[in-house]
Structure 1
Amino acid sequence: MILYKTNEQVELMQISALLVSQTLTEVAKVLKAGMKTLEIDKMANEFILDHGAVPSFYNYNGFPAHIITSINDVVVHGIPGKEELRDGDIISVDVGTIKNGWHGDHAYTFVIGDASPEVLKLVKTTKESLFEGIKEAVVGKRLGDIGFAIQNYNEKQGYGVVRDLVGHGLGQSMHEDPQVANYGRKGSGTMLKENLVMAIEPMINMGTKDVFLDKDNWAIRTADGKPSVHFEHDVCVKKGQALILSDYSIIEAAEKANVNLNTSYY
């Protein structure tokens, strides 16, 4: 069952979404080669708690960390640990918060130091495809229009669009109806109505779309070991133009100011 929000509830959700953006901004300020992902997790958790919220992911279905850090061929659900980031790595940082009873949940992929042109192109295309999907998140369109826009944008470049993982509705639960696939047919699926809030999140692989579950029973990896990129925004369906509840601009400003991060794909 899809739960449509009131305008007041959307405003509360925006507070949670912006706290995620602020947390990702703090991460963007300090990311560098040699840093352990466990350090990022500790910092993010403290920042969220200091701002009167709690991390959504901690102990969610038993997940053992506060945020998700997925490196290179890990598509999603990477557990922060003692592994050190290396020059040329890409890392998707996925953060969730609960504040005032409402969830925010989105992700951003960062490039550490020098990376190949092929990797930079994958990051650029995946990020652009997110906004192609968001353009379709308006009253009167259908879920399939979002999926088609993302799929078409990426497959034109020869990339694999993951089928096993999808975006989702968002609210007082982290995962609500509907499922928001990154593939689909124009004009198919649920009709979009005002104040449906969704996490739209393309997960795009350089090679095959196929993935597998790692032995830790959390990390999802690409079947061919090639890199994967993940971007995610919290979006509210509106008439004419979607309302993006999260904010990439503050993340991007911190990312550009950090000499250890590669933003040459902009």
Structure 2
Amino acid sequence: MKARIKSKEEIKRMREAGRILAACHREIRKLLAPGISTLEIDAFVESYLRKHKATPEQKGYRGFPYATCASVNDVVCHGFPDSRPLGEGDLVTIDIVVNKDGWLADSGWSYAVGEASPAAQYLLDKTHEALYAGIGMATAGKRTGDIGYAVQTVVENAGLGIVTPLVGHGIGKNLHEPPDVPSIGSPRTGALLKPGMVITIEPVVTIGETGAVFWEDDGWTIRTADGSLGAQFEHTVAILEEGPCILTE
């Protein structure tokens, strides 16, 4: 399948979903403190989105039962929210997909609860840096391999691991559209980026250098194989003639 090119009006509608999503993440940051549970955050997100006439696209997607993916410490992706209170120094990633009038925006963000350890803060800083290195390559005429190479370079130079099975993707009226956007790659390889494409860039990085993970029996929860901390930062990005436009910032 080919990537679907969006019109300016369609990108504008995705930007509105992205604005709601970015504002929701700002509210989550205010809520996060030792003692809150990811189930409470999930309930807040669902209420917040509905208040803004939007819906959580994850809920019901392939049977996923929650409005958010909430991944704590060694869970790197697709964690189920639960009632356990978060503790000082925990890392939690909240991944949200907003549906606003049929158009989607997707952004996951990792947060430290209270004060992060130096190692955890290093992981957060370098994962965030890797995301923006990838976004810098999201220009017309580049390829997905250029994005992956930029992400990979930051992560490997930092001595961290990349979870390679988890990739970014095209997005629009559907959550997963072509092309895949891996967090590793070689320059000038992969799908060609064209004006009007909208993609997610979402490096998932671990303190463990291998980035190896395993899936739990629920079919969703993904943990690091060595029990090390993981982090993820993700934006939805439109490819425009003038350069990348972050729709979820």
Deviation at residue 23 of structure 1 after TM alignment: 1.2
1:223 paired residue number = 225
2:203 paired residue number = 202
Deviation at residue 240 of structure 1 after TM alignment: 4.4
CA–CA distance in 2 between the matches of 1:98 and 1:110?
A: 23
**Contact kept in structure 2, 1:145 and 1:187, CA below 8 Å:** yes
2:39 paired residue number = 38
2:79 paired residue number = 78
**Superposition RMSD in Å:** 0.9
One-letter code aligned to 2:51: D
SS in 2 for 1:154: helix
CA–CA distance in 1 between the matches of 2:116 and 2:127?
A: 16
CA–CA distance in 1 between the matches of 2:164 and 2:52?
A: 35
**Contact kept in structure 2, 1:137 and 1:238, CA below 8 Å:** no
CA–CA distance in 2 between the matches of 1:215 and 1:41?
A: 22
1:112 paired residue number = 113
CA–CA distance in 2 between the matches of 1:140 and 1:222?
A: 35
SS in 1 for 2:105: strand
Deviations 1:179-209 (A, max 9, x none): 1000000110111100110011010011021
Question: Which range moves more in the overlay, 76-85 or 238-247?
Answer: 238-247
Deviation at residue 114 of structure 1 after TM alignment: 2.5
Deviation at residue 216 of structure 1 after TM alignment: 2.6
1:23 paired residue number = 24
1:165 paired residue number = 166
One-letter code aligned to 2:226: D
1:57 paired residue number = 58
**Contact kept in structure 2, 1:205 and 1:227, CA below 8 Å:** yes
| Equivalences, count | 247
One-letter code aligned to 1:174: L
**Contact kept in structure 2, 1:19 and 1:104, CA below 8 Å:** no
Deviation at residue 39 of structure 1 after TM alignment: 0.4
Deviation at residue 18 of structure 1 after TM alignment: 1.2
CA–CA distance in 1 between the matches of 2:242 and 2:182?
A: 22
SS in 2 for 1:242: strand
1:193 paired residue number = 194
2:9 paired residue number = 8
2:236 paired residue number = 234
SS in 1 for 2:227: coil
Q: So what's the TM-score if we normalise by structure 1?
A: 0.91
Deviation at residue 24 of structure 1 after TM alignment: 1.1
Structure 1 stretches of 4+ with a deviation exceeding 3 A read: none
Alignment of 1:88 with 2:89, yes or no, is yes
CA–CA distance in 2 between the matches of 1:24 and 1:79?
A: 18
Alignment of 1:211 with 2:221, yes or no, is no
Among all aligned residue pairs of Structure 1 and Structure 2, give the percentage whose two residues are the same amino acid: 38
1:69 paired residue number = 70
SS in 2 for 1:188: coil
